[in-house]
Structures are given as structure tokens and as C-alpha cells.
């Protein structure tokens, strides 16, 4: 029998979720990825942009520091830009 998430589960035992959101625009994928990478570089993040299969463009950003590692917040942000018919969609993922 399946159980709804959070139902019959104490608040301190709710599993962590990987949040993924999908957006879209008419701006070209490579232009969006470069602009986003520039934004993160201006905030002293390491950022890279590269192409993948399916004509997708990926931007990854992270900030390296001892305090971020000690506090457990040394995550990388990955954004995948996918061109479509007259629009570009992107998906945001966070992870270690």
C-alpha cells in the first residue's frame, strides 16, 4: 500500500527532496548559459558552459571554500538549457 509523502511521517523524518524546476523563454540557449555563467563569475563562483548531446547547453557553477565545506553547503548548481520550437527551456538542479 502506497503512502503519501509526509503523511504518517513525523516532521523530522521527511526525506530530503531534489528540487527541479523547468522554465522557458525565446532567448537562445547558448546566450542564456553565457549570461548566467557571467552572473555567477561576478559573484566569485567558478562557472563553466558546455554543449551536450541533443543540442543542449549546460552551465555549472560552484564556489569553493573551507567554510562552505565545513557548513555542508558546498553544492554545485547545474542548469540545462534545451532549445525547442521557437523557445528555450531550462532545468535547474542542485547537488554535491
Closest by CA position to 92, among listed 16, 18, 22, 17: 22
- Distance CA(57)–CA(55), nearest Å, equals 7
Q: Is the pLDDT of residue 75 over 60?
A: yes
Q: Is the pLDDT of residue 33 over 80?
A: yes
Residues 34-61 as b/e (b if ≥16 CB within 10 A, e otherwise) read eebbeebeeeebebebeeeeeebbbbbb
Mean pLDDT of 71-80: 79
Question: How many residues does the structure list for the chain?
Answer: 96
Q: How high is the mean pLDDT of the chain?
A: 78
pLDDT digits 0-9 by tens, 46-64: 999 999 988 899 999 988 7
- Distance CA(3)–CA(79), nearest Å, equals 32
Domain ranges of the chain: 21-95
Amino acid at each position: 500500500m502506497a503512502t503519501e509523502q509526509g503523511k504518517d511521517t513525523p516532521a523530522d523524518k521527511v526525506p530530503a527532496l531534489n528540487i527541479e524546476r523547468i522554465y522557458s523563454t525565446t532567448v537562445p540557449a547558448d546566450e542564456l548559459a553565457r549570461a548566467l555563467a557571467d552572473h555567477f563569475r561576478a559573484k566569485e563562483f567558478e562557472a563553466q558552459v558546455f554543449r551536450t548531446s541533443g543540442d543542449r547547453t549546460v552551465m555549472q557553477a560552484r564556489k569553493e571554500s573551507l567554510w562552505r565545506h565545513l557548513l555542508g553547503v558546498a553544492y554545485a548548481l547545474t542548469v540545462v538549457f534545451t532549445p525547442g520550437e521557437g523557445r528555450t527551456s531550462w532545468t535547474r538542479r542542485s547537488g554535491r
